[in-house]
Chain A
């Protein structure tokens, strides 16, 4: 359904912006060391999520 697809896209765009605003608010209270440490954790999460995304649709069985 195209209506549903449009709704999903708007939901995705909204989530991206809301999450970014939250991150910006949190970052204000963090030290440089904390920012770098948290970034390391998030980059690892991104790598794991990307690996999972790459496998999706190609799973055996």
Chain B
């Protein structure tokens, strides 16, 4: 089908708007992070920094930001520490959720066993329950078990809130894979385990890549769960630390933006590199 010239122009304009709209806060964040407080205070407003500088990044990473941020940054190196917390939490949670979800998703999609349908629907139904309702109840159990402000506690909560959705996504992926390779392996004398490990898992490669990316994005970006379950810099991830930079009366925007931009880098890279896989999984089954 061919488009008329007017239609093509309209489409080009719409595409430009989509791209601009999608990148606007990030672009603005980068510009702000390169500005100085003078640029921010300037009247009339200065969209581009007069003298671009990396000062905000420097003070953020070297920990000399206490005075500049109006006293909101209490410890030196707090930001780097929070990045480390986020990374470790994301890595451990993702691995744990991935193992549980992939094995269950495969079994529900391919194997026959007693109680399969009932168990499947119970797990899938819990996806709709708002995370907060579960976390609220978990909070008291965690407090009793002394798991507040500990990484293990956070990992358990992420397992609880993310496993059902992850299982559902990978289940749909397995359902779409051809069954012939596994059947052939079984006829050739493989056990179920061998067939799963050597035939089906390699088939699921793109699905597992997409799922890992989605879990990483969910865990890295989660705010409410760590907001409730962390209290010290030993466990606080970036998503909880950065909003603390917002001052009550004035905000050091360059510093805030620099922190935001740095914390956005990992998810942005993952989204750009694995975007084809992620799109496939999100549009196919959510």
| A and B assemble together | no
Which positions in A face B, CB cutoff 8 Å? Answer: none
Which positions in B face A, CB cutoff 8 Å? Answer: none
